[in-house]
């Protein structure tokens, strides 16, 4: 997808999500509802290069914190992390909504990590 087409699609999605909102608080709630409706949870994701499962996206009314992802690690631990720190596979529908949320916040899109990679994009050496 071209960068120009991607920006146009994000603009259309933002318009759809924020159509009747007035103020940041209502806009955060609108994003929360969009994620609830279109997120398809649970979703596989990465936070700081670690694979986990996002169970839902929530907003507690704190505009400084914004949206949070309720995540479960492979060990079963539950964590709340800022949604902007989460990456979803580009093939997932939720990726578009996260891109729109980041755009609305003025945050650029990070590169999506691949399964089995560490920071820097290389696999760890196998032990022999």
DSSP annotation string for 51-90: EEEEEEEE--S-TTT--EEEEEETTS-EEEEEGGGEE--T
> In 3-state terms, what secondary structure has residue 25?
helix
What is the per-residue pLDDT for 108?
Answer: 77
| pLDDT tens track, the chain, 128 positions | 455 557 788 999 999 999 999 999 999 999 999 999 999 999 999 999 899 999 999 999 999 999 999 999 999 999 999 999 999 999 899 999 999 999 999 997 665 454 444 444 444 444 54
Full-prediction pTM beyond 0.75?
yes
Which sequence spans correspond to the domains of the chain? 3-105
What is the per-residue pLDDT for 6?
Answer: 73
pLDDT, tens digit, 9 for 90 and up, residues 59-74 = 999 999 999 999 999 9
């Amino acid at each position: 997808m071209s960068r120009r087409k991607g920006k146009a699609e994000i603009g259309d999605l933002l318009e759809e999500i924020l159509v009747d909102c007035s103020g940041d608080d209502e806009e955060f709630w609108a994003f929360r509802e969009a994620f609830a409706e279109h997120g398809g949870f649970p979703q596989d994701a990465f936070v700081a290069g670690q694979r986990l499962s996002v169970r839902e996206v929530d907003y507690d009314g704190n505009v400084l914190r914004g949206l949070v992802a309720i995540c479960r690690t492979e060990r079963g631990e539950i964590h709340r992390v800022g949604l902007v720190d989460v990456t979803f596979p580009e093939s997932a529908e939720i990726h578009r909504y996260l891109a729109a949320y980041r755009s609305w916040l003025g945050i650029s899109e990070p590169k999506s990590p691949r399964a089995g990679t560490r920071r820097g994009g290389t696999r760890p050496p196998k032990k022999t």
